[in-house]
Amino acid sequence: MEDIKILIIDDVNEVRGLLRTLLMNIGFSKIEDAKDGETAKMKCQKNKYDIILLDIELPDYSGIELLKLFIKEYPDTAVIMCSAHSTLDNVKASLLAGAKSFIVKPFSIRKLQNALAKAKN
Amino acid sequence: MNDFFKMLKIDPFDEELENKFRHQLSLRARPFFSFIYWAGGLIVLFYFIRSLLIDTSSIILLSRAAYFIFWASLVYKTLYAKNTISFDLSYIIYVVGGTLFTALFYGILEQNSQLLITSILLFLIGLLLCQLRAKVMAWVSIIAVVNPALVLYFHQGLTQEEISNILIIGVWACCTFIAAIIFEGVNRKIFSFSQALKKSRDNEAEANQAKSNFLSLMSHEIRTPLTSIIGYSELALSSKYDQEVSVKALTTIHRNSRHLLTLINDILDLSKIESEKLILELISTPVLTIIEDAASIVRGNAIDKKVTFNIEHQWPLPTAVYADPTRLRQVLINLLGNAIKFTQKGSVTLRVSYQNAALSFEIKDTGIGMTELQQANLFQKFSQADSSTTRNFGGSGLGLYLSKKIALVMGGGIIVSSELGIGSCFILTVNAKQDGIKFSNAPPKIEKNTYTHKDIKQVTGHVLLVDDYDDNRNFIGALLTSFGLTVDYAKNGEKGVEKALHGDFDLILMDIQMPVMDGIEAMKLLKNIGCGSPIIALTANAMSHEIKSYLTAGFDDFLSKPIETAIFYNKITKYLATNKSKITDKSNDFDLTALTKSYQNSLINVVNKLKKAQSNNDWHTLEKICHQIKGAAPSFGFKKIGEYATIIESAATAKDKEKSDKTLKLIYQNIKMLSE
């Protein structure tokens, strides 16, 4: 768990903070965040992340678009989609595009743990 | 050429089929015969009368009279015989006909060549007859070829015309002979085809008949308990809470429902046995425990009927044998249940013994007993001692049939002895030949494993129940609630997945067959997105291969419908316990105060943005901001704000000014309260 690098991508500052707190609490220490797609892309170019937590709606990018890009560029990185929407179209599109998991906001720590477990496998 | 000879080579059928074939041919040939007989007979009659007029003392007169009588009798036989003419008779006809032909042939040569037409007709008779019996064909061939040759050889000095007549007849005979063989071949082919067709039709009709019988029997067996269920439920509904009537009605409904369930289970077993798919799971089975299990189930009935029920162990007995525990229990329950069912007073005794590497269970009762005839039909499908038994005692008529089959598969059997009015004795034997068998001299201590509602301990947890059938959903929901669980409901797989995504469930119960999205697809989707909750298939498809396919598909477990409370409770609590211990809830272990405070401030700031968007009717911004709030606010404990944001988001999507204004007012109030 120590070595796993995680990138949080969400436009709401507090959600990023919350996710960071939750992840640290679970036991992860190498956590970074990005407030939009462009920042995330830049960070990904510099660092190799094991897991990306990606919000489906960002100011500059659609989450699915970004997901496809990450899967293509960094096939070893597991992407967990986060959304406030639970419409099955989004879920199915994310899985089809290669997302490892899909969690709906607000989520419990248990759900996050399950999603991370699935992503790590 | 080869084909031609192949056609000439005729393979006879077996004896029975050959007779059928000949019979059919003779029936077909009958109109020809009658025509030829009549025509031939008239010609003979004509010459008879003519010879009478010319010379009454002539020898020709006598021979023609004899021929005439012969023809007349043939005509009579052909027209008035009940069946068609027999094969032997046709043989005689041919031989005599052949002689007649020879005689007439000489007539042609020596007296009158006009008789040619008669001889041809007679010859045709012979050829047609050869269709009736293969043996005759050899004679035909000899006579057809050899006879003209002999005539030519012995009658030197014939005229050119006479020789050509003989040759024409010879060629004619040979052609007809070949034609007869070809027809024979064709007829055989048509016959075997029609036989095959008839056979397949018969088989189909037989299968249809068996299916109809089975369906009508099933319909009867299912309708009978249903009559009580429907009748009593209507009575209970109309009795306006009369406690006594309601209890009686519910007891009857319950009993009949259980009977229906037994019937359906028996039919499933029957289908397995019929398709030879009954596979026993041979494991080390604690026999004595199984006996106690079976006894505990039937003992209640014995007590109700005031029938004494005893178990006699002939020690020592093996502690465990390799057998299928479920099936062994099923057979014992069936035999003991029958014994108690058919015993009105007296006793039922189960004697267990071990000898010659076989376990023997002797079930003796002092019941109504059976006649020998009844005993003979006892182990047949759907046959109880007689049909009145079904009315008086109930039962599908499958129990003993299945029990015997199962006993046979377990390397044993069931034998019966009985006397009408005295009682019956069934002996079930099970193969117990194995190494290292251990013996015991005392019954084991049996743990109580029957449940009543009072035994159920309250549990906590959040369960999602996905089922499209309202009544089942309500019932199972009520049952889960009675265990102390919180239940969320979904009507189909799609709604189930959405609920599971939003909520946090300790357990998901998923029906299989549902509209929109079925249980398997929903389960797979949930597993794919990393849903950690155990998902149990809730299914009325209880066949073992179906259950196996659900588990292979990814379900954590299965529960079959109808629900057996004890099994249901055990399985639910098992998953709740493991799930709880596996994932510890650490949500309270860390401090979110600073983050919450920060988010609270950002909410206060967002009010201005919302107000601006509201006044400008900027639906897009409104939707976007509310979507963010919807996702984030509940995470920091502002659930109400999250709910309002959800409403506003959908109102903004629908551009519903009234609804959004109304809810915005509420959200402003809530956020304002935060800042105070």
Confidence of residue A73 (pLDDT cuts 50, 70, 90): confident
Q: DSSP string covering B482-533, please?
A: HTT-EEEEESSHHHHHHHHHHS--SEEEEESS-SSS-HHHHHHHHHHTT--S
Q: How far apart are CA B12 and CA B27, in angstroms?
A: 19
Contact of B620 with chain A, judged by CB distance below 8 Å, is answered with: no
Residue B244: strand pairing partners: none
Q: Are B250 and B233 in contact (CB under 8 A)?
A: no
Distances in Å between the Cα of B575 and the Cα atoms of B150, B275, B571, B582 are 104, 35, 6, 10
Confidence of residue B84 (pLDDT cuts 50, 70, 90): very low
Residue B664, token pair as written in the block: 């915005």
Higher pLDDT, B40 or A106: A106
Domain with CATH 3.40.50.2300 in chain B: 453-582
Distances in Å between the Cα of A48 and the Cα atoms of A32, A35, A42 are 11, 18, 11
> What residue type is assigned to position B167 of the chain?
L
CB contact under 8 A, B602 and A104: no
**B598 chain-A contacts, CB cut-off 8 A:** 13-14, 17
One-letter-per-residue 3-state SS of A1-20: CCCCEEEEECCCHHHHHHHH
**A82 chain-B contacts, CB cut-off 8 A:** 631
Q: Is A26 exposed, middle or buried (0-12, 13-18, 19+ CB in 10 A)?
A: middle
Contact of B455 with chain A, judged by CB distance below 8 Å, is answered with: no
Residue A55: CB atoms within 10 A of its CB come to: 27
Q: Distance of alpha carbon B408 from its chain centroid, rounded?
A: 22
Using CA of residue A67, residue A68, residue A74, residue A77, what is the dihedral sign? positive
What kind of fold does domain B453-582 have according to CATH?
Rossmann fold (3.40.50)
For the cut 80, the answer to whether the pLDDT of residue B457 exceeds it is no
Q: How far apart are CA B596 and CA A17, in angstroms?
A: 10
Strands (E), B356-506: 358-365, 413-419, 423-431, 439-440, 462-466, 486-490
Q: How far apart are CA B506 and CA B532, in angstroms?
A: 9
For the cut 80, the answer to whether the pLDDT of residue B659 exceeds it is yes
Confidence of residue A76 (pLDDT cuts 50, 70, 90): confident
Task: For residue B410, give the nearest of B300, B295, B287 by alpha carbon.
Answer: B287
Using CA of residue B195, residue B199, residue B202, residue B208, what is the dihedral sign? negative
pLDDT one-digit tens code per residue, B459-501 = 888 899 998 888 888 888 888 888 888 899 998 898 899 888 8
Contact of A90 with chain B, judged by CB distance below 8 Å, is answered with: no
Secondary structure of residue B574 in the 3-state scheme: helix
Higher pLDDT, B359 or A106: B359
In Å, the largest CA–CA distance within chain B is 153
Higher pLDDT, B397 or B97: B397
Q: How far apart are CA B640 and CA B646, in angstroms?
A: 10
Domain with CATH 1.20.120.160 in chain B: 593-675
**Distance between the two ends of chain B, CA-based, in angstroms?**
113
Q: What is the CA radius of gyration of chain B?
A: 46
Average pLDDT in the B498-513 region? 88
Cβ-Cβ contacts under 8 Å for B194 (sequence gap 6 or more) = none
Please tell me the predicted confidence (pLDDT) of residue A88.
85
**Residue written as token pair 């012969």:** B70
Q: Which of B462, B526, B528 is the best mutation test for A, with the most CBs of A within 10 A?
A: B528
% of chain B at pLDDT higher than 70: 66
Average pLDDT in the B118-144 region? 55
Please tell me the predicted confidence (pLDDT) of residue B388.
47
CB contact under 8 A, A110 and B532: yes
Rounded to the nearest integer, the mean pLDDT of chain B is 75
What kind of fold does domain A5-120 have according to CATH?
Rossmann fold (3.40.50)
Residue B403, token pair as written in the block: 């029990």
Average pLDDT in the B297-325 region? 84
Closest by Cβ to A25, choosing from B504, B589, B630: B589
- Architecture label for domain B593-675: Up-down Bundle (1.20)
pLDDT one-digit tens code per residue, B165-181 = 666 656 666 666 666 66
Contact of B599 with chain A, judged by CB distance below 8 Å, is answered with: yes
Contact of A108 with chain B, judged by CB distance below 8 Å, is answered with: yes
Contact of A20 with chain B, judged by CB distance below 8 Å, is answered with: no
Confidence of residue B41 (pLDDT cuts 50, 70, 90): low
Buried b (16+ CB within 10 A) or exposed e, A60-69: ebebbebbbb
H or E element in which residue B283 lies: strand B283-286
Confidence of residue B306 (pLDDT cuts 50, 70, 90): confident
Contact of A27 with chain B, judged by CB distance below 8 Å, is answered with: no
For the cut 90, the answer to whether the pLDDT of residue B238 exceeds it is no
Please tell me the predicted confidence (pLDDT) of residue B670.
80
For the cut 90, the answer to whether the pLDDT of residue B3 exceeds it is no
CATH number listed for the domain at residues B283-440? 3.30.565.10
Q: Is B409 exposed, middle or buried (0-12, 13-18, 19+ CB in 10 A)?
A: middle
pLDDT one-digit tens code per residue, B102-117 = 555 555 555 555 445 5
pLDDT one-digit tens code per residue, B536-553 = 998 877 666 778 888 889
**Highest mean pLDDT (candidates A81-90, B79-88, B303-312, B638-647):** B303-312
Q: Are B129 and B94 in contact (CB under 8 A)?
A: yes
For the cut 90, the answer to whether the pLDDT of residue B10 exceeds it is no
CB contact under 8 A, A110 and B530: no
What chain B residue is nearest to A27 in terms of C-alpha separation? B586
Please tell me the predicted confidence (pLDDT) of residue B207.
78
Contact of A72 with chain B, judged by CB distance below 8 Å, is answered with: no
Contact of A93 with chain B, judged by CB distance below 8 Å, is answered with: no
Contact of A39 with chain B, judged by CB distance below 8 Å, is answered with: no
**Highest mean pLDDT (candidates A85-89, B153-157, B392-396):** A85-89
Q: Are A84 and B631 in contact (CB under 8 A)?
A: yes
Residues 485-544, chain B, touching A (beta carbon < 8 A)? 494, 497-498, 501-502, 504, 525, 528-532
Q: Which of A24, A25, A89, A109 is the best mutation test for B, with the most CBs of B within 10 A?
A: A109
Write down the domain spans for chain A: 5-120
Q: How far apart are CA B56 and CA A75, in angstroms?
A: 123
Closest by Cβ to B504, choosing from A17, A95, A108: A108
CB contact under 8 A, A103 and B585: no
pLDDT one-digit tens code per residue, B65-77 = 666 666 666 566 5
Residue A70: CB atoms within 10 A of its CB come to: 24
**Highest mean pLDDT (candidates B89-98, B135-144, B162-171, B393-402):** B393-402
CB contact under 8 A, A57 and B602: no
CB contact under 8 A, B592 and A18: yes
Confidence of residue B88 (pLDDT cuts 50, 70, 90): very low
Strands (E), chain A: 5-9, 30-34, 51-55, 78-83, 101-104
H or E element in which residue B218 lies: helix B160-238
For the cut 70, the answer to whether the pLDDT of residue B59 exceeds it is no
Confidence of residue B317 (pLDDT cuts 50, 70, 90): confident
pLDDT one-digit tens code per residue, B544-602 = 677 888 888 999 998 888 787 888 888 888 888 654 444 444 444 556 677 777 777 77
Task: For residue B10, give the nearest of B138, B124, B128 by alpha carbon.
Answer: B138
Domain with CATH 3.30.565.10 in chain B: 283-440
For the cut 90, the answer to whether the pLDDT of residue B362 exceeds it is yes
**Residue written as token pair 């950002």:** B602
Q: Is B401 exposed, middle or buried (0-12, 13-18, 19+ CB in 10 A)?
A: buried
Please tell me the predicted confidence (pLDDT) of residue B345.
87
For the cut 80, the answer to whether the pLDDT of residue B623 exceeds it is yes
Average pLDDT in the B618-629 region? 83
For the cut 90, the answer to whether the pLDDT of residue B508 exceeds it is yes
Please tell me the predicted confidence (pLDDT) of residue B478.
86
**A110 chain-B contacts, CB cut-off 8 A:** 504, 532, 583, 585
Please tell me the predicted confidence (pLDDT) of residue B91.
46
CB contact under 8 A, A117 and B530: yes
Average pLDDT in the B26-49 region? 63
